[in-house]
Amino acid sequence: MTTTPSARKVPARASEARARLLATAGRLFYAEGIRAVGVDRVIEEAKVTRATFYRHFPGKEDLVCAYLEDTDQSIRARVAAGAQQISSPAGLLDLLVEGIGQEMCSPGFRGCPFINAAAEYPDRESPVHQAVLRHRAWFRETLAETFRGSGHPDPEQAADIMLALRDGAMVAGYLGDPEAARLTLARAVGTLATAR
């Protein structure tokens, strides 16, 4: 894979302006789609100058990657916090399913931000698609560890099945009745977790 200048890892500079850019981009990208939202709109709504934008992000692709990485880190932090409060792998699995269900039933839900990004950036070699794959690999391994810890006979397959269930529930929650999708996911994962 060739690394273009904008695909190189740029060290994140912590600043209020960068935080506003990320928050604005995240809101717009999730609500309207990544390719539908231009840099000019993000700059305008974040109330920063063009120079400030380019000081933090060499290009739009870098902003998209930062948005996905920020979303990934937020999810990882929530899972880690939940894991510290839960005493068993089964409890963590319940917590994950509950969190997914709450997300699906929240106002403005538009599906999984990572699946949405992968659909807009189908080239597996693109930095955006790679950010999606990194998040997915982490989540799948988290699921496998949880099933492994709960004594599931095939934790790898259980993780794959739960990931597929979660993906399907996210789509069903967006396109149909989110509460029905939440209940279906909970029942299906409950069956999967007790499979021996």
Q: 174-190 pLDDT, tens per residue?
A: 999 999 999 999 999 99
Q: The domain 11-58: what is its CATH number? A: 1.10.10.60
pLDDT score at 68: 98
pLDDT score at 93: 94
Q: What is the second-level CATH architecture of the domain 61-194?
A: Orthogonal Bundle (1.10)
- Three-class DSSP labels, 52-100: HHHHHCCCHHHHHHHHHHHHHHHHHHHHHHHHHHCCCHHHHHHHHHHHH
Q: Are 117 and 68 in contact (CB under 8 A)?
A: yes
Residue 67 phi, psi (nearest 5) = -60, -45
Q: Rounding to the nearest 10 degrees, give the CA dihedral for residues 158, 162, 165, 169.
A: 170
Q: Is the pTM for the entire model greater than 0.85?
A: yes
Ranges of residues in the chain with a pLDDT under 70 are 1-14, 196
pLDDT score at 7: 42
Q: Are 98 and 44 in contact (CB under 8 A)?
A: no
Q: Are 81 and 141 in contact (CB under 8 A)?
A: no
Within the chain, all domains assigned CATH 1.10.357.10 are found at 61-194
pLDDT score at 6: 43
Q: Are 163 and 140 in contact (CB under 8 A)?
A: yes
